[in-house]
Structure 1
C-alpha cells in the first residue's frame, strides 16, 4: 500500500509528513523547507501573555533551531564545542554517579510505598550534567525544571488564556534570569556558555535565545527520553541498554515531531504544498531509523550523543531496580504536546517473590 507523502490536518492547521524518506528529504532541504516556525508558539499568545513577555524584553531572534541565515553556522559551531564526542564521553562517570545516587534513594523510598521514577531518578541528572558541560554554575535545579516544562507547554501546548498567562509569567521569570547572566558575562566574560556567546559578538537577545532553548532542550527532553525508556523497561531484565535506547528512539522518542514551513510552492510526491505551508514532520514511530529522532542536516540536534549516553547509563544503573518492581499504572499520565511526548510519571512498587499481579 502506497503511503500518502503529506496530508492536511485541519485540527492542527498543518501539513503532516511522516514517511521517513519524505521526512529525511525535508530535513535535508533547509532552503525549501525553512525552520522559521520551529519555535513559534503553536497556540497564538494572548494579549495578556504577550504583555508579560514584553515586560522583560522577551525575544527569540533566529539563532539555532529557527535560523536559516548566515549567522547559524558560527553560532552552531560555538555551541557544538560544548558537545564534542570527547566532552560527552568525559561526563559518563558523573552521569553514572548521579543516577546511582538517585536509584539508591528510590530503593529506600520503595520500602514505604510506590515511587515515581521520573521525579526521583530521571528528573535532575540530565540538568546537572548539562550545566557541568556548559560551565554554568549556581542554578536552582527545581526552578530550571519548572521553567523548562512550563516553557514547553507555552510554545508547544494548547493552554487556554488563563493557563497561558501562568506560563508566560514562568517564561518571563526564566528570561529575566537569563538576562542577568548575560549582563554578568559582559562585565566578566568567562569560558562558560554565556561568556562564549558574548565573545562571539551576539546581542543580548541572541544570547538569551540560544540559552533559553538550549537549557531546556539539553536536559528536559532527555529526562523525558529516560522516562519513556523506564516505562518500557519496568518489570523486565534489560539485556543491552544501548539497544533499548535505540528502540525507544525509533518507536516513542520524547521528540516525536518537528516543524518546518515551505519557502515556495513545492511537491511531495503527487501532493502540492503552497508557499508558507506549515509542515509537521514525524520523527519517531513511523518505521524510520533511530537517528531520525534527532533530525538531520544543519539543524540536527547537537545533544544527540549526550542524550543517548545519559539514557543508556540511566538504564544500566537502574536495571536491577526496574527488574524488581512492577508498574502501578498501565497508562500513566502523559506529557502530550505538539512536539514532545513522554510519561509524566512512572509509578512503581515493590514486587514480592509471590506477586502475580501484572507488571504494568
Structure 2
C-alpha cells in the first residue's frame, strides 16, 4: 500500500490493522534455526512494535522517558564530538590518498554510542552490537538461504544471551538504566529481552542507515537543498516499509481485504510527508527526534568532506523488506 493518506489511516487504526506481524521473520525460520534460537531461550512476546495489548502503554512510557525532548537536545554535544572526531580521522586518511568507507568510518558508531548513553548502558561491545544488529535485520527482514539463516540465528542467539545476562544483572542490582526500568516495571525476562532486542537495533542501526543514505545523496548530488535529512525521509528513508495484519475483513485502498491478511505499508518514496517515515499513532518511532538530530549533526560535521570526495564504486546496498541503505560508501579524494 503506497498511498500516504491510506497508510496514515491504517497506522491510526491499530484495532483493525494490528501490529502482530511487525517483527515476524519475513522468511520462515527453519527447524535448525529455531533450535539455535530456542537454545538461547529466544522469545519475542508483544512489547513495543508488535504489541496491540494493554501492556503496550506502560512499556512505551517507561522507554519514552529515555528519549524525552530535553534528553535528546542535551545529547547533541556528544553526537557532535563523536562525529567530528571521525570526520577528522577520515579526512586525514583521504589526504594520504587512502580510500575510506564513510559508513564504517563516520556513520556506524556514533548513533550506537549516543543511544547507549541515553539508555544508561555501559560496558557494551559496540562493534559486536553493530554486527548483531545487521545480522538480526537480515534474519527477520531478509531472504537468507538455509545456510545463511543458520549463521544469522547463531548471531541472534548470541545477542539474546547477552540481553539475558544484562536482565539477570538488573534483577540482582537494579540501576537507573534501560534494564533497571524494565525490570522495575514488573516485566518478565522474555519481555525485557524483547524490548532490548529491537530497541538496541532500531535505536542506532536505522540512524546509521539514514546518515549513510544522506551521505550518498550529497556525494552524488552536491547541489541538494540544505535540508537533505527531510528530503531523504520523504523519498528514500532507511525504513521504507512496515507491516500490519488485518484483524477483520476490511476495505482498504478500494480493495476488499480478508481477516488475517498481511499489509505492507510504504512509508517513504510515495509523495507523503517526511514525518511518515517514523510511523504515526501509538506505535510512532520513539527515537524520531533523536534520529533527526543525529543525521543533522552528521551532515553538518561532514558536509565539507563530502563535497571533496567521489565514490570508488556503486555502493552495495542493505536491501531488506523494511530496511534499505548503502552498506558501504567507499570514497577517495576527488581530483581537482
Q: TM-score scaled by structure 1?
A: 0.92
Compared CA separation, residues 167 and 320, structure 1 to 2 (3 A):
same
Hey, what does 2:156 align to over in structure 1? 171
Separation in 2 of the partners of 1:56 and 1:220?
A: 23
Aligned length: 335
Hey, what does 2:192 align to over in structure 1? 207
1:352 correspondence with 2:332: no
Separation in 1 of the partners of 2:231 and 2:217?
A: 10
Contact between 2:97 and 2:332, CA under 8 Å: does it hold in 1? Answer: no
1:132 is aligned, of 108, 114, 117, to 117
Contact between 1:222 and 1:307, CA under 8 Å: does it hold in 2? Answer: yes
Hey, what does 1:31 align to over in structure 2? 15
Q: Deviations over 1:139-180 (max 9, x none)?
A: 001000000000000000000110000000000000000000
2:212 is aligned, of 219, 227, 234, to 227
Hey, what does 1:7 align to over in structure 2? none
Hey, what does 1:18 align to over in structure 2? 2
Separation in 1 of the partners of 2:135 and 2:291?
A: 21
Deviation at 1:290, TM superposition (A): 0.2
Hey, what does 2:146 align to over in structure 1? 161
SS at match of 1:352: coil
SS at match of 2:307: helix
2:300 is aligned, of 309, 316, 322, to 316
Separation in 2 of the partners of 1:216 and 1:167?
A: 15
Hey, what does 2:246 align to over in structure 1? 262
2:315 is aligned, of 332, 350, 358, to 332
1:274 correspondence with 2:235: no
Structure 2, unmatched stretches of 5+, are: none
1:189 correspondence with 2:174: yes
1:91 correspondence with 2:75: yes
Deviation at 1:328, TM superposition (A): 1.9
Contact between 2:87 and 2:106, CA under 8 Å: does it hold in 1? Answer: yes
1:295 correspondence with 2:279: yes
Separation in 1 of the partners of 2:206 and 2:249?
A: 33
Q: Deviations over 1:313-353 (max 9, x none)?
A: 00000011001111222x31100000000011111111122
Contact between 2:23 and 2:50, CA under 8 Å: does it hold in 1? Answer: yes
Q: TM-score scaled by structure 2?
A: 0.98
2:236 is aligned, of 238, 252, 258, to 252
Separation in 2 of the partners of 1:116 and 1:322?
A: 12
Structure 1 runs of 4+ with >4 Å offset: 235-241
2:26 is aligned, of 38, 42, 45, to 42
Separation in 2 of the partners of 1:351 and 1:227?
A: 19
Separation in 2 of the partners of 1:238 and 1:56?
A: 50
Separation in 2 of the partners of 1:84 and 1:166?
A: 37
Q: CA RMSD in A?
A: 1.1
Contact between 1:238 and 1:319, CA under 8 Å: does it hold in 2? Answer: no
Aligned ranges for residues 56-67 of structure 1 at < 5 Å?
Answer: 56-67=40-51
Contact between 2:218 and 2:224, CA under 8 Å: does it hold in 1? Answer: no
SS at match of 1:281: strand
Compared CA separation, residues 157 and 269, structure 1 to 2 (3 A):
closer
1:150 correspondence with 2:100: no
Deviation at 1:112, TM superposition (A): 3.1
Separation in 2 of the partners of 1:112 and 1:49?
A: 44
Hey, what does 1:342 align to over in structure 2? 325
